[in-house]
Chains A and B, each alone.
Chain A
Amino acid sequence: MIGAVIEKEFRMFFRYPLRVISSILVGIVFLLQFVYFGQAVLGGRYSTLLEASTGMGDYPTYALIGYVLWWVSVSPMEAYVWGVRRELQRGTFETNVLSPSRLISLLFGLALSWLLMDSLLMGIVFAVGGLIFDIPITGSFILKSLPVIVASLAAFLGFGFIFAGLVMLLKNIGPFAQIFEFAMLFFAGVFFPLSVMPPWIRSLSNLFPLTHSAAIVRNLFAGGTYLQVADHILWLLVLVPLYWTVGYLIFRWAERTTRVIGYGGY
C-alpha cells in the first residue's frame, strides 16, 4: 500500500520536468541568498568566530549542510500540509480515504514519498552547491554520514507526523506550517551558529532533530568522529521514538475528532 502511494507521488512529480527543474532552482537560489550575503558581510568565506563556536569556519560549507538538512527535515511536514490539501482541492482525498486501506498508511506513504523526493532533489542541490562554492565532497564523508542521515530521516518523519493530525483537524494550516518552517531556521542554527542566541533558545533547540543532525554531519565533514558528537547522537536517538509516539497519539486523537465532526471522507 505504502509502495503504491510512493509510486503515485513519484509519477505525478516527475511527469512534469519543469516542476523538477523549478524545485531544484528554488532550492539553489534560496541557498545562494544567504551564503552570498554571509560572504559579502565577511569579505570572504572563512570566519574565525564561526570556527570557534561550531568547529567549522568555512561559511558556505556550514550553510550548505544545514540548509540541505533543513529542507529535508520539513519535507514530511509539507507533505501532510500541502499533500493532503492538494488532494482535498482535487477532490481525491475522500476517494482515497474510502479505499480499503488505513488512512495512516496513506498519509505515511505520502510523507515518505515527499521525503524521498526531497532527499533526491537536495542531493542535487548539495552537489551543485559543492560545485558553486568549491566544497570538496568526498565519498568517505558521504558513507560516514549515511547512518546519521538515515536516523535523521526517521526523526524528521516522526516530527512531521504531528502535523498529519493537525491538518485533518484545522484544514488550512499552510501559513502556520510556513511560520514553523522558517522558525526552524533560527532554532536549529541553519545559517548562523546557535551561540548568538540566548541560552533558553539554545536549550529549546535541543528538541528539534535538525539541530543534532546538522551538528553531527558538520562535525563529520570537518573530519571529526562520532564520539565527539555523542551527546547529539544520544539526543537524536531519544527524539526518534518520542516524536513517533507523540505524533501517533495526536493523529489518533485528530482522527477520532474528525469522525465526530465529519471531515475529509469521514
Chain B
Amino acid sequence: MAATELRALWGVAVKSWRIFLSYKLWFISDIALGLFFVGQALLIGIGLTGERNSEALQRLTGYSDYVTFAILGFMVLGFGLTFLSGFVWSVVDELYAGTLEYSFAAPMRRITFFLGNVLTRVFLSFLYMAVYVPVFVLLFGLSFDLWALLRAIPVLLIGTVGMIGMGMAAAGVVLYLRDPGPFINILEMLVFALSGAMYPISILPEGLQVLARLLPYAPTTEAVREVVAQGYHPAMGEITYLVTISGAYGVLGYLTYKWSEKQAKRIGLKAY
C-alpha cells in the first residue's frame, strides 16, 4: 500500500515537472522575477539614500545592508510560498484545465496528489536558490557567511511545519470554492504583505503587525534573519515563538484538511 502511494507520489511529481518543463520560458521568467525583486531593492536604496547601507534599517532590524536583508526575506518567502502554492494551485490549475476530476479519480489518496505537486515546487525552489546565490554574489556583491546561513536551516525547517499546515488548511478551503483563483490571490497577497520579506513588520500599522505575527511566515523570516546575524542565543525568543506558532499551524492545517475532505465526500465536491 505504502509502495503504491509512493509510486503515485512520484507519478504526480513527474507529471507536474513535465508540465513545467513544457514551457521552458517560465523557468527564465521565474529566475528573472527574483533578480528584479532584489535589483529593485538595490536601486530603490541607492536612489533614495545614495548609499549601500542604511542606518535607519540598522536601527530597526540590526541589518545595515538592505540588499542582504531583502535577499534573506525573499528566499524565506519564496520557500514558504512553495507549500501554499503547491497545495492550492495544484487544484486550481487542474480545475481550469478540466483534468481535476480525472486526477482525483485516480487510485491514490488526495494528500498524495497534493504532496506530489508540492514536491516538484520544493525541488524548483532549491533549484532557484542554487541559481540565485551565485548570481546575487556576482551581481550585487553579496557576501554570505556560509556557516551563518547553514545554522539557520533548522529554524527554516521549524517554520516549514507551520507553512505546510497553512497550505493544507488553504487546500481544505479550496475544495469548497467553485472559482478558487481569487481566494488564492488574496491569500498569497496577504502572506506577501505580512511576511516581512522586504521590510521589518515593525514598520506596519499595529493591527497588521498582530496579523503578521499570527501567520507562520513573518516569525520564520524574523527568526532566520536573527539567527543568521546574531546566532541562536539572542534569537531564542523568536525561535520559541516560531516553534509555538508553527506547531499550532501544523496541527490546525492537518485537522482542517481532514475535516474538509470528510465534508467534501459527504456533500459531493470536486469528484469526491
Contact = CB atoms under 8 A, between A and B. Distances in A.
Contacts of B39: 186
Contacts of A34: 40, 44, 198
Interface residues of B, number: 46
B49 A39 contact: no
A26 B185 CA distance: 7
B96 A185 contact: no
Interface in B223-246: none
Given A38-B44, A40-B56, A196-B43, A182 B32 contact: yes
A18 B183 contact: yes
Given A21-B186, A41-B66, A89 B96 contact: yes
Contacts of B25: 172-173, 175-176
B57 A33 contact: no
A41 B49 contact: yes
Contact of A49 (B26, B50, B57, B186): B50
A176 B29 contact: yes
Given A41-B54, A43-B54, A178-B29, A29 B193 contact: yes
Contacts of B198: 33-34, 36-37
A19 B181 contact: yes
Contact of A43 (B44, B56, B70, B96): B56
A43 B55 contact: yes
B49 A47 contact: yes
B207 interface: no
Given A25-B189, A33-B198, A196 B47 contact: yes
Contacts of B54: 40-43
B101 interface: no
A38 B48 contact: yes
B139 to A, nearest CB: 13
Contact of A192 (B32, B36, B44, B96): B44
Nearest to A26: B189
B159 interface: no
B150 interface: no
A interface SS class: helix
B267 interface: no
Interface string A157-201: 000000000000000111110110011011000011101110000
Contact of B193 (A33, A40, A59, A186): A33
A33 B189 CA distance: 10
A32 B44 contact: no
B189 A41 contact: no
A50 interface: yes
Given A49-B49, A49-B50, A41 B56 contact: yes
Interface in B154-191: 179, 181-183, 185-186, 189-190
11 contacts: A25-B186, A34-B44, A38-B44, A41-B57, A43-B57, A44-B56, A53-B47, A186-B36, A186-B40, A192-B44, A196-B47
